[in-house]
Amino acid sequence: MSKIADIALDDAGLPAPTAEIEQERRVAVFDLLEDNSFVMIGRDGRDVPPGPYNLNLSIKDRRLVFDLTDVGTGVDGAFHLSLGPFRQVVKDYFQICESYFDAVKSLPPSQIETIDMARRGIHNEGARVLQERLEGKAEVDIDTARRLFTLICVLHFGG
């Protein structure tokens, strides 16, 4: 039951995404809703609803906001994460994605594969940073963290 049942990105005020960014977003949302693990952690002795959760993900005042509603109880909760720890890995990820999208158009498969391996490595690093930042708030498996990191990058695109 501890999972994300639905997800919305609050991208109001952000520039329209490129076709590649929009495709990454669609795939990440689809994959996330198909399979994820998201366990809220009680703090200060408080119990938390077991989920599943509806998640609204946004960036407000330079903070990443996880706004959650328990599907069964309707109980709302939110937590905010500083964007500082994500800045460099998001920047690196965008740069390697640009290289990848350019490479797909003109380079041989062996070079594309090398760039893609680097892209996956940076993506894994972003997922690891997210897992660290969620410590004490929520537990997510690596696949869920990877998909959420993709969505954080989508929100960063306009931020």
| pLDDT above 90: residue 51 | no
The CA–CA distances, whole Å, from 57 to 15, 69, 94, 148 equal: 17, 12, 19, 9
Query: Smallest Cα–Cα separation from 40: which of 72, 18, 12, 83?
Result: 72
- Residue range 36-42: mean pLDDT, rounded: 91
- pTM of the entire predicted model: 0.90
Q: How many CB atoms lie within 10 A of CB 155?
A: 20
Q: Residue 159's pLDDT is what?
A: 45
Query: Over the stretch 82-96, which tens digit does the pLDDT of each residue have?
Result: 999 999 999 999 899
- Distance CA(129)–CA(145), nearest Å, equals 9
- Distance CA(70)–CA(67), nearest Å, equals 10
Query: Over the stretch 89-116, which tens digit does the pLDDT of each residue have?
Result: 999 998 998 898 899 999 999 999 999 9
